Each structure stands twice: as structure tokens, then as C-alpha cells.
Chain A
């Protein structure tokens, strides 16, 4: 079926897939970091993303800041909010039932969605790019994603904080015994994860319009991506995110928009039937 598509359209599909993939990469990497360090799944991750988008939107409207620069402001704002939410909410239920994380996230989803809806109303919002051509936008989006992901990689791999984060995600107790302040690492990774989500949100608001409710499904897709890519594996999140974006883009063209959300789950189910522990997961007894 794909062969019947003419080359220019094929290129369009691939480019679109890459751009959507960039957003998934940012979203999934943040979620993955939080999961890796805290072993908590933050289903409200999509709401942090949309919040980041709205903050950048307001900055570009009221301050006139270039949306690509406002990414850094919204990163800081959402990151600080993330730290606060980690302290007040997630920290309290660490170590209790896994479902509690879900219910807590659901509660947070309701709170964040409706706060955004009160502040910015339900009308779809689009950040107007300062550039004339869409192609330039796309190049910048891919560039910014690469920049931020490189920074993220350097932070995780080359700095002391990053090493502490990796140590905590490998073995919490051992990390604690080595003198790492695990609580600080929790706060930091949650803040960093939500900051990455804020970046994704700003980029999303530049390429398509957002509403307060458009974060729910992307968060679950990001979760699918990190499960497929192996829970806690940073490279898996990147490859998975780009792959997911491409597959979704192809599926929407071939099967139609109805299948946009379903196709990722079909792949997930097929993969898990063959490998119940995920693509790169370790086999358990």
C-alpha cells in the first residue's frame, strides 16, 4: 500500500513522522527519567506538557517573546512546579500500592486540566511562529530537540548529578549507602522530567493547536514508548519515540485518522505477545 504513495508525499510522511517523533522523544525521555529514578509512573505527564505549551503561548502573546526562546522560561516554570508536586504528592505515596500512583496522577490530571481550562479557556490555541516558512520551523524543532537531548545526555552521562541519578535508578539502597541524597535526586529528576515535557508542549503548540485536554493520550503513548523501548533505558526512549512518530504518521496516511491512537497499542500488544517483558526487557522467572 505504501508503494502506491508518490515520493513527495512519502517525504512529507517521513518529515511529519520525525517532527511528531521529536515531541514523543522529549515526552518519553522525561517520563522515562522519572520512572527510572523513582519507579513511579506519572500519568499526568501530558498535562505538564500542555502547561508548558500554554506558558510559552502566553509569553509569546503578552511579552512578545520568540516562542523558541520561551521554551527555556516554560521549562523552568514547569520544572519548579514539578518539584513542588513531587514533594507534596508523589513523595508521600512512594512505596505504597502501584495503583495509588495512577489515582494520584488522575487527580492531578483533573486539577491541572481544569486549572488550565479556567486560565486559558477551552478554545484551541496555536503559537504563531515568527518565521514565514513552515520548513524552517520544522528544521528548528528538530534542531532544538537535538540540542536539548544532547544537553540531557551530557547531564546524565558526564556530570556528578547524572551519575547520582543513574546510581539511584540502578539500586536505591546502595546509592543511599554511598552518600547520595536520594530525596534530592527524586526532586531533581521529577523537575527535569517535567521540564522536558514543557519543551515538548511548546513544540507541540507550534506545530498544531492545543487544548487543556490534549495531553492525556500523548502521555499514555509516551508510556507505551518507554515500555517498548525497555523501561528505564534512555536510548530506548529516543529510538522508540522517533519510531513511534514515524509509524503513526504512516498509519494515519494509510489507514486514516481514526487509527491514530490505536495503531501504537496494536504494535504494543503484538510485541508483548511475543516478548512479554518488552523489546529490551530482562526475562523474569
Chain B
């Protein structure tokens, strides 16, 4: 792709500056709710950045703005040095894709899961014959450790949450996107399959140079998967930096609180507060 040469191998893929989203409701007496306030950060090629924070802290708002699903009130987002709104919508989604929190809501129960994979071809240029499509889908699924015969042709309710999340990651691979917004991809799936999804992200980062914005409320996962972390509270980024620095020597009281709230093994719960 042309864009990769512009930014170089270690360039910044995505950059957010002063990103703010205010929700206003009511016509005469307006009420304003802050979704995100002055959020600035960048993601490099082949880097996994975690966005941590409690529910309602604005993590998903940031994700949705990056995905062009909602418009920011102010601030700018640039992809490979260009404003994301300067891209044609299809061209943009060829580069930025997402995995959402609830796999059961991400697949339309009306169709078999193939529907989601086939739709992804709509973003590609030119037409591909059906046989070729099937081959690409199968090899992609195999490359992420899914058995195509086990998942294809099934309805969403017949698959496990982990399988579905992997398929969605496979979908963005199929499109060949360079940035993946993973909005709490593991919070609604079994603990036993979580590691599989996390390891898949790590291996894609290593092999394909995939950049990931990993949104989570689980500090442990953030530490496992990412190099850098941003901690959000009430729409603001209160602390950011390398994972080890933030989590071992937290500066902001909220980060300390978050860390203290992580339950640990071999410790009495009432004493760990």
C-alpha cells in the first residue's frame, strides 16, 4: 500500500489530538454529557495500545469516533497523516476494522456466520469468483487456528463466543486492515478462551505488523497484551505511558485505585481493599 511507505516502518498509524465528544440533549434546556474530553494519543505500526478504565469512562466513545460511527465534537483523528474524514468510507474501512465486545450481537442471528465473512469482500476492489472467495475464507480461518468445517455454515448461536471473536479478527485479516480497534473483545467470553484471543492478537502484531487499540477494563489483560497503556476516567485520559511504568509506579490516584481493585490469588478479599 502507498500509505505504508509514507509513514515508514515504525511510523505512527493513528493519531488522536484533543478528541472531545459532548452529548447534548433537550431543545430548550440543554443538558450536556461528556463522552470524552481532550483525548490525545498515537498508535505506531505493530503496536498494541491498551485503553483501560471503568465502565462509562469513555473508552468505547473513543473507539466509535475512530471507527467513524460517531462524529467528534472537536479534535482531530488522523490515519497515516491524513484526517480520517478525508478518506472515502470504503477506503477507510479497508484499513481500520473492529472487534466488538458482544460477539452475539456482532453476528446477525438471521444469517449463518458466512454472511459476515462474505460481506467483508465488499470492501475489496474488483470482483472475485465464489470459489476463490471460499478458498480465501478457509485459509484465513485456518491461519487463526479455526477449523473452517467447524464454523462455516453455522448459525451464531451454534458457536462459542471465543470462536466468534476469532472469526471477527479473521474478518479484519481478510480485509487486510492495518489497525484493529478491539473494544473489550474478551469481556463476554469464557476465561478459558480468552488467552487464545489475546495470543492471536499478539501473533498478528508480530507476523503482520497489525496495530491494535485494545480496550479493556481488565488491568491484567492490558499488561499481558500491550506495550503502552492509557487510563481513562470520566472521559479524560488521566495517565499514559509504557505498561510497566504505569502499572508498577502509578502516579495518578485513580490508577492506584484500579490496581488495588484487581483481585489476586492466595489473598483474602476483605483484606485486599
- A and B: interacting chains: no
